[in-house]
Structures are given as structure tokens and as C-alpha cells.
């Protein structure tokens, strides 16, 4: 007898991924295996669930109904198993995460190492990318997002505020005056992050008024680390989240400009599919990260504050 649950799981994944190849990729098995599971399932039921050309998959009516029931069943199994183990156990399986590139590379490594130390049976599959992946479609358990999001399909758990700062290398100002107002930035070499939806640099001035400038980008790049290193090398002025530049600020490689202005903040969030049941490993990881990135003051803010004091 074949493994019915595995067949159902495969079927669901194929539908959500949109193709057999993608589902195979996500499940880390050969696509021949996925193809076989699917056709075995259909043979057993004697019904075609997916009308497939080589290029496109379409749910049949039977398939649509079976899909819904399969999801229910898979969730029920998860629930049954986790209630059986109680709170203490069964944090296991593969955790599929998508994370913004720079933030992930700079701050996720130790967090994940610690989480995996706590839960030896968890494996992790991370996709670093500044493209916002479709969680369901991509088969991700959760994603990190740095945005002021209003995504409706997903549940979101705020992690911490992301402050920004305008910084440049001290050497950059050897022959230039420090800016006094945001407008002064327009005269300088601004290095801009091209991934942002808004090409302006938005601020609140010391007297509480909102404002924005549209910097003339000397360089556009879709990678924060690149912009940071360029600024450190004296390439110009950047507007970047503090998590990216705190080390350079502490070391003095970068100095903050227009300190009394408050540059548009973002929120770091964990997003995950709004499902009535969340696998234990996902819940555990969310709780862990929430703890890890102290909501009020993440460690990079503390380090900056300390450096300023000295």
C-alpha cells in the first residue's frame, strides 16, 4: 500500500507550486518521483485530479474537491501529532524560510544556529532574496519582510522597528561641507537602494514636519551591503537601515548626518500563511525570533547607542 498522506502532500504541493518540477524542487526529490506519486494517486482513485499538458496544470473538479480535503486532512494529522506530543516535543522537519538578502546575511546566521542547536531535528532551507517570494506558491513556511506591509493573505508578526540613518565616510567630507538640511543632500553623491518601492528619502524634521527629497542617484544598486561598502570607501551618502551600518558607525568608518531628522522607519516582520494550523516548528521558530530580536531595542541599536556615549 502506498503512502496516502505522502501522495496527498505531494498533490497539494504540486498545485500550490504550480508545476511538478517546482514541487519536486521544493520537496527535494526527483521530479520523476513526484510525477509517479501523482499518477499513482490518480490511478488509485481512478480519477484525473490534474489536467496537465507539458506546460500547464489545471485542477479538475474532482481535483479541486480533493485538494481541499487533502489540506484538511494534512492539517488534522499535524494537529493530532502535536497534541499527542504536547508542548514539549516534535519540533522537527524542514523549515523553509525566505529572507531579505542583506538583513539575512548579517543577522540570521547566529539566530538560526542557536535555533538548530535547541532543536536538533530541525533542518533549514533558506532562500535569500530581496524579491518578495510568494510564500504559498513557493512552499515556504515563513518569510522575513522589512516593510510597512499591508499584505492581506498572510499573517504577520512584528519583530522590531528598523531605524534608518543617513551616513557617509568622514573622508568624503574632506573638501565638502556637512549637510545642514535634507535639501543639502541633493548636492552630494547619493547612493540609492533600487529595490525600494519609493525612490524618495522620507523624513520627519526636528519640528515634526514631514518632508521628502528625491535624491539624484549617483549609483543605484539593489544590494545594501554593496552600498554600505561603497559609502565606507568614500563613494557618497547612503540612506540605510541601521542594522546594515551599525558596525561601520561604531568603528567610525561612517558618520551619521542630519541626526536630528527622523528618517522613515520600517518594521521587520515575520509573515506566514494564514492557516488555521501552524506546524509546531514554525510556531517555535517565530517565537524564537521574536525573542531573539528584542522588539524594543535590537542589539545593533544598543551598540550604536553605546558607541555614541563614548
Does the protein bind its own copies through residue 59 (CB under 8 A)? no
CB of 206 to its own copies, least distance (A): 57
Q: Cell numbers for 91, please give them.
A: 519540533
Query: Cell 504559498 appears where?
Result: 136
Does the protein bind its own copies through residue 212 (CB under 8 A)? no
Does the protein bind its own copies through residue 204 (CB under 8 A)? no
Q: Which stretch binds its own copies (CB under 8 A): 1-9, 106-114, 126-134, 211-219?
A: 1-9
Does the protein bind its own copies through residue 90 (CB under 8 A)? yes
**Which residue of 53, 55, 86, 197 would you call a contact of its own copies, by CB under 8 A?**
86
| Residue 267 site contact among its own copies, DNA, none (CB < 5 to 8 Å, cut-off depends on kind) | none
* Cα–Cα dist 137/143, whole Å: 12
CB of 29 to DNA, least distance (A): 3
CB of 47 to its own copies, least distance (A): 5
The neighbouring-strand residues paired with 213 are: 201
Applying CB under 8 A, the site for its own copies has a residue count of 30
Terminal C-alpha separation, the chain:
70
Residue number with CB closer to its own copies (141 or 253): 141
Binding site for DNA (CB under 7 A): 2-3, 6, 19-22, 28-33, 35-40, 52-57
Does the protein bind its own copies through residue 32 (CB under 8 A)? no
Does the protein bind its own copies through residue 62 (CB under 8 A)? yes
- How would DSSP label each residue in the chain? ---HHHHHHHHHHHHHHSSHHHHHHHHTS-HHHHHHHHHHHHHHHTS-SEEE-SS-EEE-HHHHHHHHHHHHHHHHHHHHHHHHHTTSS---EEEEEEE-HHHHHHHHHHHHHHHHHH-TTEEEEEEE-SS---HHHHT-SEEEEEE----SSEEEEEEEEE-EEEEE-GGGGTTSPPPSSGGGGGGS-EEEETT-S--SEEEE-TTS-EEEE---EEEEES-HHHHHHHHHTT--EEEEEHHHHHHHHHHTSSEEESTTSEE--EEEEEEEE--S---HHHHHHHHHHHHHS-SS--HHHHHHHHHHH-
Does the protein bind its own copies through residue 33 (CB under 8 A)? no
Does the protein bind its own copies through residue 81 (CB under 8 A)? yes
Does the protein bind its own copies through residue 77 (CB under 8 A)? yes
Residue number with CB closer to its own copies (4 or 200): 4
**Which residue of 30, 43, 80, 216 would you call a contact of its own copies, by CB under 8 A?**
80
**Which residue of 21, 56, 72, 187 would you call a contact of its own copies, by CB under 8 A?**
72
Does the protein bind its own copies through residue 29 (CB under 8 A)? no
* Cα–Cα dist 36/275, whole Å: 28
Does the protein bind its own copies through residue 120 (CB under 8 A)? no
CB of 33 to DNA, least distance (A): 4
In sign, the C-alpha dihedral spanning 240, 244, 246, 249 is: negative
Does the protein bind its own copies through residue 46 (CB under 8 A)? yes
Q: Which stretch binds its own copies (CB under 8 A): 17-25, 44-52, 122-130, 173-181?
A: 44-52
| Residue 191 site contact among its own copies, DNA, none (CB < 5 to 8 Å, cut-off depends on kind) | none
Does the protein bind its own copies through residue 66 (CB under 8 A)? yes
Amino acid at each position: 500500500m502506498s503512502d496516502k498522506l505522502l501522495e496527498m502532500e505531494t498533490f497539494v504541493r504540486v498545485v500550490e507550486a504550480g508545476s511538478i518540477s517546482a514541487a519536486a524542487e521544493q520537496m527535494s526529490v526527483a521530479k520523476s518521483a513526484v510525477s509517479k506519486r501523482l499518477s499513482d494517486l490518480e490511478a488509485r482513485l481512478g480519477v484525473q485530479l490534474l489536467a496537465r499538458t507539458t506546460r500547464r496544470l489545471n485542477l479538475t473538479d474532482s481535483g479541486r474537491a480533493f485538494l481541499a480535503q487533502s489540506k484538511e486532512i494534512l492539517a488534522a494529522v499535524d494537529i493530532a501529532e502535536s497534541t499527542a506530543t504536547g508542548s514539549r516535543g516534535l519540533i522537527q522537519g524542514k523549515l523553509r524560510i525566505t529572507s531579505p538578502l542583506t538583513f539575512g546575511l548579517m543577522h540570521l546566521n547566529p539566530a538560526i544556529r542557536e535555533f538548530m542547536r535547541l532543536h536538533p531535528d530541525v533542518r533549514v532551507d533558506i532562500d535569500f532574496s530581496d524579491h518578495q517570494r510568494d510564500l504559498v506558491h513557493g512552499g515556504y513556511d515563513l518569510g522575513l519582510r522589512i516593510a510597512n506591509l499591508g499584505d492581506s493573505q498572510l499573517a504577520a508578526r512584528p519583530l522590531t522597528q528598523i531605524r534608518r540613518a543617513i551616513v557617509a565616510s568622514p573622508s568624503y567630507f574632506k573638501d565638502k561641507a556637512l549637510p545642514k538640511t535634507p535639501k543639502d543632500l541633493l548636492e552630494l553623491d547619493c547612493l540609492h537602494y533600487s529595490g525600494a518601492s519609493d525612490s524618495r528619502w522620507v523624513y520627519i524634521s526636528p519640528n515634526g514636519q514631514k518632508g521628502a527629497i528625491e535624491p539624484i542617484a549617483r549609483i543605484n544598486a539593489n544590494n545594501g551591503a554593496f552600498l554600505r561598502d561603497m559609502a565606507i570607501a568614500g563613494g557618497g551618502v547612503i540612506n540605510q537601515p541601521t542594522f546594515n551600518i551599525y558596525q561601520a558607525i561604531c568603528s567610525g568608518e561612517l558618520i551619521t548626518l542630519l541626526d536630528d531628522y527622523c528618517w522613515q522607519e520600517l518594521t521587520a516582520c515575520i509573515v506566514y500563511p494564514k492557516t488555521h494550523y501552524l506546524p509546531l516548528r514554525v510556531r517555535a521558530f517565530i517565537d524564537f525570533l521574536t525573542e531573539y530580536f528584542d522588539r524594543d531595542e535590537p542589539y545593533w541599536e544598543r551598540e550604536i547607542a553605546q558607541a555614541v556615549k563614548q
